[in-house]
Amino acid sequence: MTRAIVVDQVVKQFTLRHTWSIKEYVVWNLTGRGGELKDTFLALDDVSLTVEQGESVGLLGRNGSGKSTLLKLISGVLRPDRGQVGVRGRVAGLIEVGAGFHPDLTGRENIYLNGSILGMTERDITARLDEIIAFSEIEGRFIDSEVKFYSSGMFLRLAFSVAAHSHPDVFLIDEILAVGDEPFQHKCLERIAELRKEGQTLVIVTHDLNLVSQVAERGIVLAGGKTVFDGPIEGAVGRLRGEG
Amino acid sequence: MRAPDSVEPGLIIPGRSNGLLDVPRWRFLLSLLVKKELRVRYRGSALGLLWSYVKPGVQLIVYYIAMGKFLGLERGIPNFVIYLFSGMVIVNFFGEVFGNTTKSIVVNADLVKKIYLPRELFPVASVWVAFIHLVPQLVVLIIAALISGWRPGLVNIAAILGALILTVLFALGLGLMFGAFNVLFRDAENFVELILMMAAWVSPVLYTWSHVASVLPDSLDWVYKLYPITQAVELNHVGFWIPTSAVQERYPDSTGPLIDALPMWAGAAFVISVLWLVVGQAVFRRLESRFAQEL
Ligand SMILES: Nc1ncnc2c1ncn2[C@@H]1O[C@H](COP(=O)(O)OP(=O)(O)O)[C@@H](O)[C@H]1O
Ligand SMILES: [Mg+2]
C-alpha cells in the first residue's frame, strides 16, 4: 500500500491577536517586552495520521476541534509549527465556500481561475468546461455573469463541480456540503461514490453523521486538537453520538 | 524542523514552492490574475484604458508650457520636457510596481488564506499590471520624442530596456519584502508611500546630475550613483533624450550633463538590484508560512 497523506507529530498554534501597528510593536520592544502582546492557542496538538491511497476518511469532531485547520495544513494553505505533512500528488481542497473564486470575474472565468489554481492546464479546463458547467447546474445566463451575484448554493455547486472534475490525487472536502440543497447534495454524494470507485483518496469533514457513514470507511475523531479515535467509521460515529 | 527525509520519497510537502523560479510554470494562472486585476481596476469606467493615454498626454503638455516655457528650464536643458518625462516615466513605473506589490498579498487575502497557490504570483502579477500602465506613458513619450527629432540607435534602445529591467528588479525586490511586512504590519503601506514620495525627488528627474555633483561631497558621490533608480533614470535619458536633435547639437560627442562612466555605474546598480531581489525573495519566503493565518 502507498501512503497518500502523512501527518507526522504536527503542532499548529495560532496567535489570537495578529495585526499590530509598528508603533505598538516598537513600544512593546522598548518597554522590555512587558506583558502579553499576543495570546496563543493550540489548534492542533501533536497530531499524527496516515491515509492510504484510495482510502476515504471521515474527519469528525465538535466545532473548534481543529478539523479545518488540519485540512488547511494538508492542502498547504497553512504550515505546521512543528512536525511534518506530506502528500502524494495534487491536492484539491473544498475548504471554504468561495475559496479560489473572484467576485468580479464571471462564472466561466472563475472556472478557469479555480481550475488552474487546482493545477489543471488551460487545455484540461477547456476540454472539461461543458461537463463542469452541466454538473454545476448553473443556467446559461448566470455562467457569464459575475459570481458576486451568485447565491452561496450556486457558489458551492460551481466550486464542487470544478474540484470534482480536476482529478486530484487527494480530495479534501470541508463542511461545505451542508450549504447545497437536498438534490444537489445527493448528486455530490453520487459523484463522491464514483470518485471512490476510481480510487480517489478522500478526506471529508461533516457534521452529518448519516452522510459520513455512506461515504467513508474510516473515521478519525478530533477533540481539542488531538486525535481521540481512529478506526472504522461506525466506531467514530458511535463515539460522537455517545458524546453528543 | 526535522530533516525532509523523514517524509518518505514521493511525498511532497504541501505549501512549499521554489518561489519566483516556479512562476513560469504557472503562467496561465498568472495571466488570469493580471486580467482580474485590470478588471477590478477599470470596473465601472467606460473609457477604461483610454484614460491612461489622456492623463500622461495632458501632463506632458502642461509640463512643457509651465516648466519649459514659464519657468524657463528649457534654456538650461535642451528639450527639457523629454528630459523630464523620460525620467518621470521610470519613477512612475517604480512607484507602481513597488506600491502594488506591497499591497498585493493583503489585497488578495481571500485567495491567500483559503487556497494554496505560490504566493509570489501576486507580486509578479502586479509587475505585469504596472507594465500595462506604463505602455501608454511610453507611447506619449515616444510621440513627443519623435516630434523633437528622436533618432535612436541600438545603444539607445538597449538603454531603455536596461532602464525597465533595472527598475523591475529593484522594485520587485523591495515589493516582495514590503508586501510580506504589510501582512504583519499594515502600516508598511504608508511607509512605502513615504518612500515613493521621496523617490521622485532623489533621482535626477527635475534636475541634472551636475546639480547634484556640485552640492554632494565627492566622497559621497557613489552612494547617489549606486541607487538603482538613479541609474534607470539616466539610462532612460540615454534612450529618449540624448538622441533628440537639440541635444545632439548641444553635446555632439558626449552625454552632456548625465552621469559619467554610465555603463560601469549602471552595471553596479544592476548587481545591487539582483542582490536586492534575492534578499526580498528570502524575506518573503521566511514570512510566507504565516500569511494565511495573519490575514
Ligand atoms: N487564523 C486563525 N487565527 C486564530 N485562531 C484560529 C485561526 N484559524 C482557526 N483558529 C482557531 O483554531 C481552532 C480550531 O479551528 P478549526 O480548525 O476551524 O475547527 P473546526 O473546523 O474543527 O471547527 C478554533 O478555536 C479557531 O478559533
Ligand atoms: Mg471547520
A67 lines ligand 1 (CB under 6 A): yes
Confidence label for A33 from pLDDT (cuts 50, 70 and 90): low
Task: State chain B's mean pLDDT as an integer.
Answer: 87
Confidence label for B113 from pLDDT (cuts 50, 70 and 90): confident
Domain assignments of chain B as residue spans, ordered by start? 48-294
Separation of alpha carbons B182 and B109, rounded Å:
12
Q: Would you call B32 an interface residue with chain A, using a CB distance cutoff of 8 Å? A: yes
Of B26, B111, B184, the CB nearest to A100: B111
Cell output for B241: 533624450
Cell output for B163: 532602464
Q: Would you call B186 an interface residue with chain A, using a CB distance cutoff of 8 Å? A: yes
- Contact criterion met (CB below 8 Å) for A221 and A61: yes
> Among the listed ranges A192-196, B39-43, B207-211, which one has the minimum average pLDDT value?
B39-43
Q: Does the pLDDT value for residue A69 go beyond 90?
A: yes
pLDDT digits (tens, 9 = 90+) for A39-52: 778 899 999 999 99
Predicted complex: ipTM over 0.95: no
Separation of alpha carbons B155 and A131, rounded Å:
54
Q: Which chain B residues touch A87 with a CB distance below 8 Å?
A: 11-12, 14
Which of the residues B110, B114, B286 would you substitute to probe the A interface, choosing the one with the greatest number of A C-beta atoms within 10 Å? Answer: B114
Separation of alpha carbons B284 and B180, rounded Å:
6
Of B12, B113, B116, the CB nearest to A86: B12
State the helix-helix crossing angle for A107-117 and A152-164, rounded to 10 degrees: 40
**Cα–chain center distance at A115:** 16
Separation of alpha carbons B111 and A77, rounded Å:
10
Amino acid code (one letter) for B112: V
The ligand 1 atom at the shortest distance from the C-alpha of residue A62 is: 22
A61 lines ligand 1 (CB under 6 A): yes
CA atoms within 13 A on the CB side of A37: 17
Q: Which chain B residues touch A3 with a CB distance below 8 Å?
A: 8, 11
- Contact criterion met (CB below 8 Å) for B51 and B143: no
Question: Which distant-in-sequence residues (6+ apart) come within 8 Å of B71 by Cβ?
Answer: none
- Average pLDDT, integer, range A177-201: 84
Look at B115 and A77 and tell me if their CB atoms are within 8 Å: yes
Q: Whose CA is nearest to atom 24 of ligand 1?
A: A64
pLDDT digits (tens, 9 = 90+) for B164-203: 999 999 999 999 999 999 998 888 888 898 988 888 788 8
pLDDT of residue B123: 95
For chain A, domains (ranges, CATH) are 3-243 (3.40.50.300)
Residue A168: name the closest of A90, A57, A88 by CA.
A90
Closest ligand, as measured to the CA of A15: 1
Amino acid code (one letter) for B181: F
Q: Does the pLDDT value for residue A56 go beyond 50?
A: yes
> How many CB atoms are located within 10 Å of the residue B72 CB?
10
A141 burial (CB, 10 Å; 0-12 / 13-18 / 19+) is exposed
Q: Would you call B222 an interface residue with chain A, using a CB distance cutoff of 8 Å? A: no
Look at A72 and B292 and tell me if their CB atoms are within 8 Å: yes
**A56: helix, coil or strand?**
strand
pLDDT of residue B4: 43
First-to-last alpha carbon distance for chain A, in angstroms, is: 35
- Contact criterion met (CB below 8 Å) for A47 and A225: yes
Separation of alpha carbons A84 and B1, rounded Å:
8
Measured in Å, residue A41 CA sits from the centre of ligand 1 at 9
- Contact criterion met (CB below 8 Å) for A63 and A192: no
Q: Would you call B41 an interface residue with chain A, using a CB distance cutoff of 8 Å? A: no
Residue B50: name the closest of B139, B127, B124, B128 by CA.
B139
